[in-house]
Amino acid sequence: MIDASGLGHLKAVLFDLDGTLVDSLPTIAEAMAEAARLHGLDADPEEIIPRIGAPMDILVEELYGVSPEAADAVNDDYIRLYESTFIQRTPTLPGATALLEALRAAGLRLAVVTNKRDEGARLMTEVVGWTGMFEVVHGRDSGAPKPEPEAALAVLRKMGLEPSEAAFVGDTEFDMNCGRDAGLAAVIGLVGSRSAEHLRQHGATHLVHALDEVAPLLLGTGVTP
């Protein structure tokens, strides 16, 4: 067991968005599959879901073995389809809103670090009713995408904070690598799309299996396996 009492000094929490706070992986995969089919690619949403986390053009290159130019074309159609239709159907994950409200009430500052485009990230927060919830919403247009540590460090600079004053919460190796390499005080892995072992291997310092475990951990009132 890992004692959470050492996290009481934190001033901010950086969150991944897709698969961490919103249940967007199915709709992302459906939109990407539809976009891929427009370009003659045989696409199965179930094959896409385990790969979500990387920038989508890179995912297309790796999954279908196409050129960067072809991947960009698929990605353009994905963005159009996703932001016009699929994103509107995205629900929050259980406990997400309650978690964010509890952390804000405790005085913690919140930010999003996502590989969505900036506009897509902003739209997602509006769709689920979180306008104004986050001090910074940082998408891939604002700098290096995850897993680059700069994705987190750029947000911390905007907030005037040091890595030692923040935690990262995410569900993929891209999040864990980013938080670890940025030197954040805690890197919390949400087990689900990736296994606990996988998240540990990629930098998780703490693990949770549901969002209602995060506030007790961050506020020093609970432990995590």
Average pLDDT score, the chain: 92
Alpha-carbon distance of 188 to 33, in angstroms, equals 30
| DSSP code string of 172-192 | SHHHHHHHHHTT-SEEEEE-S
- What pLDDT does 78 receive? 94
Q: Are residues 111 and 98 in the same domain?
A: yes
- What pLDDT does 201 receive? 98
Q: Are residues 107 and 163 in the same domain?
A: yes
Q: Are residues 11 and 77 in the same domain?
A: no
Among 69, 89, 109, the domain boundary falls at 89
Q: Which residues are catalytic?
A: 16
Q: What is the pLDDT of residues 6-44, one digit of tens each?
A: 577 899 999 999 999 999 989 999 999 999 999 999 889
Total domain count, the chain: 2
How far is CA 99 from each of CA 132, 150, 178, rounded to the nearest angstrom?
A: 15, 26, 22
* Residue 205 three-state SS: coil
Among 89, 124, 143, the domain boundary falls at 89
Instruction: Give the angle subtended at the CA of 123 by the CAs of 118 and 127, to the nearest 5°.
Output: 155
Q: Are residues 112 and 33 in the same domain?
A: no
Res. 4: pLDDT tops 60: no
Which residue type, as a one-letter code, is found at position 140? R
Q: Pick from 145, 215, 214: which is nearest to 174 by CA?
A: 145
- What pLDDT does 52 receive? 87
Q: Are residues 30 and 17 in the same domain?
A: no
- What pLDDT does 221 receive? 62
pTM of the model: 0.86
- What pLDDT does 43 receive? 87
Among 49, 66, 89, the domain boundary falls at 89
